[in-house]
Structure 1
Amino acid sequence: MKRGLSKYFGPGPLIAAAFIGPGTVTVCTLAGVNFGYDLLWALVLSIITTIILQESAARIGLVTQVGLAANISKTIRTAGMRYFSITLVLLAIVLGNAAYEAGNISGGSLGAELFFELGSISFFKLEINLMNFLIGCIALFLLFSGSYKLITKILTLLVILMSLAFLLGALMVKPMLLDLLKGMVPRIKTENIITIVALIGTTVVPYNLFLHSSLVSEKWKSIQDLKFVRFDTMLSVILGGIVSMAIVITGAAGSAMEVSNATDLAKGLEPLLGSVAKYFLAFGLFAAGITSAVTAPLAGSLVVTGCFGWSSKINGKPMKWSIGLILGLGLMFSSLGIKPVQLITIAQLANGILLPLLSGYVIWLVNKKSLMGEFQNSWFLNLLSVIVWLITLLLGALSVMKVFDLL
């Protein structure tokens, strides 16, 4: 019975862990603080968009038994276009993930420091936060364990605990059902469009497509397992979306207008929930940081090994060197005195360029008869996919414009 149930659960929790990072916690909290429940509909849209893209990427991984990066190398025939595509993917994913990694580590550290502080040490021109270093070491230990199963089990536990922390916070503020339903009705205004882009952008993450397509083949080997892949994908993305909604609901009950640390997240809630509020949110922020600190270098390393045709075995040298590079860059960036928001802005620029290109490539690939056979997209899935691609194109354009202050 246990073995039968295990077939339904795969890398989905890692995908949820990847998009519920400190950036998501901050964006969702500010959405709640500034707009109440008005933007819950944007998270519903992001859940639908993410499910469609992640299911396509996972199906490609199951049918081909290799990840998206490897498929880029083998399906783009023109040498110039192939090298351009691989270079763009490597730069965007590796540098973008290193920037996200710095934000993940710093965000997790902010949560942990509400329980205890470790201080910092100076090393040449770097100011090394010891909590950042500890979180980086924990992530490195898990990734160097050489076991996808161990990583999945630990991250699944952390995701469950993180979800409970945020869900309990939302339940304790006792939201009105009618108000929640009103928040499901789309409202787009000049003042909330940037937040809408941020809410959807923190859920639809390009590197998750690479991560998912690669990890699916580690769990499932037969095309008959497609129903399990879809169940795992839908369950994880929907639950992740519900957690994001819970953060919005919790933020709406507070009064903090600026979020720079876990204390800011909690201070507006203390009149309602007491001092326990900050510990709920602090643990949630810590768990969000550490889970994303594991998935970001893992995804980046799978991209590197896939692009060059190297082994993606987690205990192999190519994966270990790639993991060490991305995690090391993340730690270095987090020690340069650059604010996490600035680091995430750099990653947003990379994602803004990559997301429409990558989603378009996924849609093209999943319709390739020679590759997918009878498991290519139906006309209905293609209709949904085109709508999703237009959304990613708009998101990408708005993200780039936001970085250059054109909005």
Structure 2
Amino acid sequence: MAVTLPLPAKRPLFRLGPATLVTAAFIGPGTVVTASLAGANYGYALLWALLFSVVATMILQEMAARLGIFTGEGLGENLRKMVRQPILKALLYALVVAAVIIGNSAYQGGNLTGASLGADAIWGQHSVVVGLKQLIGLNPWALLLGAVAVAVLWHGRYRLIERCLIGLVLLMSLAFISTMLLTKPAFGAMLGGLLLPVIPTGATLTVIALIGTTVVPYSLFLHAASSATKWQQQPDKINALAESAADLRTAIPLGGLITLAVLSTAATAYFGKGLVLNNAGDLALSLQPLFGAAATYLMALGLLAAGLSSAITAPLAAAYALRGLLQLSPLQFRLTWLLIMLIGIVVSSLGLRPLSIIWFAQVANGILLPIITLCLLAAVNSPLMGAYHNSRRQNLLGFAVFSATLLLSGRTLYLAFFS
């Protein structure tokens, strides 16, 4: 029987905190590109998939945050305690390393490349930038933005990292939502796309991509660990949970609104007009003749913020996951995220595209997502959670999301091996 908990003294409606790190993580160049292509190719028809992914993310991230607040440890630490059988532990660790560590190393190059595209669209024509590119023969934005991300993480204080990412998320919100409003979308069609689930011919892969770029396992590690850090000094768990809930219902829907804005902008500019969109950088540049220079600069600014925010959170999430599983020392924790950051800087500055590594990471991620979802459900139903364990409603919602992740992962693996 569920225990009725007393109401907290204060119940904030909205706030920004650790869930903002999750938003900063999933609103990266990959999400911007996926949303842009979804809007350009299918208009507003796939907005329902975005709505589902936001709801599913909120369900899982609430459990991860509650686990971190109550146990004072991240998901990795809890998994290490839960999984005792040596073979199962070895398999789980291998999957986490493959999907989170290797995967984030590969994706980090894309994060910095996406941020570089945004910066280049704004300042790329400046003579100093052109001269620097010719002089060093590398992507100077990748070096500069990578250095900024290293500086933020090197400081090491959670409060600074949180504030930096809140600033970047707010910047993304301002940029992408303003761009959407400038393009004057069809709000009636948007509402229909949100409420009427349809899959146009050829859109299955895009649906998978829209959901898969939002519901990702490394965000669970990131949120549980950051929540444990944020509220570790607060003995009143009831108020901590209330603050976390307010944070969750602010940050995650805001991330969904940002993705909706990108998709809507691409739909307005491209859908039904016989134009072909190759990447998000093209979308930023193509808006100028249609909607003026302001739309181009706002879109580019949003892409810059999205890439930089993900460039900060991806190495951090990987380091949190490995620290929890392998009990890394503070120095090893720092070296983990630094190695991932350096790999991303090299990949982006040289213009490399490690497709085989990304393919491998996607396969591992497809296997890991339902497994981590199931482990999370087991953890929040553990007797160690006491009165903070899942309710029946939370379990029903959790297993519904688990079923969806299982189908999603199965489809992803099928396409990876047989398409």
TM surpasses 0.5:
yes
Q: 1:100 & 1:49 partners in 2: Cα distance? A: 23
Aligned to 2:6: none
Aligned to 1:206: 217
Aligned length: 395
CA RMSD of aligned residues (A): 2.3
Q: What code does the residue aligned with 1:73 have?
A: R
CA 1:269/1:7 → structure 2, altered by over 3 Å: closer, same or farther?
closer
Q: Secondary structure at the match of 1:38?
A: coil
CA 1:122/1:304 → structure 2, altered by over 3 Å: closer, same or farther?
farther
Is the 1:107–1:340 contact (alpha carbons within 8 Å) kept by the matching residues of 2? Answer: no
Aligned equivalent of 1:28, options 25, 31, 35:
35
Confirm or deny that 1:163 pairs with 2:178: no
Q: Secondary structure at the match of 1:113?
A: helix
**Mapping 1:301-380, distance limit 5 Å:** 301-311=319-329, 316-335=330-349, 337-339=351-353, 345-369=359-383, 371-380=384-393
Is the 1:100–1:343 contact (alpha carbons within 8 Å) kept by the matching residues of 2? Answer: no
Q: What code does the residue aligned with 2:189 have?
A: D
Aligned equivalent of 1:258, options 274, 277, 294:
277
CA 1:274/1:8 → structure 2, altered by over 3 Å: closer, same or farther?
closer
Is the 2:98–2:361 contact (alpha carbons within 8 Å) kept by the matching residues of 1? Answer: no
Is the 2:16–2:251 contact (alpha carbons within 8 Å) kept by the matching residues of 1? Answer: no
Q: Secondary structure at the match of 2:116?
A: helix
Q: What code does the residue aligned with 2:296 have?
A: K
Confirm or deny that 1:92 pairs with 2:103: no
Give CA deviations for 1:69-99 in whole Å, capped at 9, x if unaligned: 1111111121221222122212221101111
CA 1:139/1:343 → structure 2, altered by over 3 Å: closer, same or farther?
farther
Q: 2:333 & 2:146 partners in 1: Cα distance? A: 17
Q: 1:6 & 1:49 partners in 2: Cα distance? A: 20
Q: What code does the residue aligned with 1:257 have?
A: V
Aligned equivalent of 1:296, options 314, 328, 337:
314
Q: 2:62 & 2:266 partners in 1: Cα distance? A: 30
Aligned equivalent of 2:49, options 38, 42, 47:
42
Q: CA deviation at 1:9?
A: 3.6
Q: What code does the residue aligned with 1:58 have?
A: A
Identity of aligned residues (%): 41
Q: What code does the residue aligned with 1:293 have?
A: A
CA 1:132/1:37 → structure 2, altered by over 3 Å: closer, same or farther?
same
Q: CA deviation at 1:270?
A: 2.9
Aligned equivalent of 2:151, options 120, 124, 141:
141
Structure 1 window deviating more from structure 2 (52-61 vs 395-404): it is 395-404
Is the 2:42–2:200 contact (alpha carbons within 8 Å) kept by the matching residues of 1? Answer: no
Is the 1:30–1:251 contact (alpha carbons within 8 Å) kept by the matching residues of 2? Answer: yes
Is the 2:56–2:401 contact (alpha carbons within 8 Å) kept by the matching residues of 1? Answer: yes
Aligned to 1:242: 257
Q: Secondary structure at the match of 1:37?
A: coil
Q: CA deviation at 1:335?
A: 4.4
Q: What code does the residue aligned with 2:242 have?
A: K
Q: Secondary structure at the match of 2:401?
A: helix
Q: Secondary structure at the match of 1:257?
A: coil
Is the 2:20–2:251 contact (alpha carbons within 8 Å) kept by the matching residues of 1? Answer: yes
Aligned equivalent of 1:220, options 222, 231, 243:
231
Is the 1:103–1:341 contact (alpha carbons within 8 Å) kept by the matching residues of 2? Answer: no
Q: What code does the residue aligned with 2:297 have?
A: Y
Q: 1:268 & 1:92 partners in 2: Cα distance? A: 35
Give CA deviations for 1:203-245 in whole Å, capped at 9, x if unaligned: 1121100000000011113422111111211211111001100
Give CA deviations for 1:290-319 in whole Å, capped at 9, x if unaligned: 0100000011111111111234xxxx3122
CA 1:327/1:38 → structure 2, altered by over 3 Å: closer, same or farther?
same
CA 1:395/1:92 → structure 2, altered by over 3 Å: closer, same or farther?
same
Q: 1:169 & 1:7 partners in 2: Cα distance? A: 25
CA 1:198/1:305 → structure 2, altered by over 3 Å: closer, same or farther?
same
Q: 1:268 & 1:115 partners in 2: Cα distance? A: 13
Structure 1 window deviating more from structure 2 (80-89 vs 385-394): it is 80-89
Give CA deviations for 1:150-195 in whole Å, capped at 9, x if unaligned: 1111111111011111001111122233211111210024411111
Q: CA deviation at 1:339?
A: 3.4
Q: 2:249 & 2:358 partners in 1: Cα distance? A: 27
Please report the TM-score for the alignment, with normalisation by the length of structure 1. 0.91
Q: CA deviation at 1:21?
A: 0.2
Is the 2:104–2:318 contact (alpha carbons within 8 Å) kept by the matching residues of 1? Answer: yes
Q: 1:7 & 1:162 partners in 2: Cα distance? A: 18
Is the 1:254–1:266 contact (alpha carbons within 8 Å) kept by the matching residues of 2? Answer: no
| Structure 2 gap segments, 5+ residues each | 1-9
Q: 2:304 & 2:212 partners in 1: Cα distance? A: 21
CA 1:385/1:266 → structure 2, altered by over 3 Å: closer, same or farther?
same
Q: What code does the residue aligned with 1:258 have?
A: L
Q: What code does the residue aligned with 2:253 have?
A: I
Q: 2:299 & 2:363 partners in 1: Cα distance? A: 28
Q: 1:241 & 1:7 partners in 2: Cα distance? A: 16
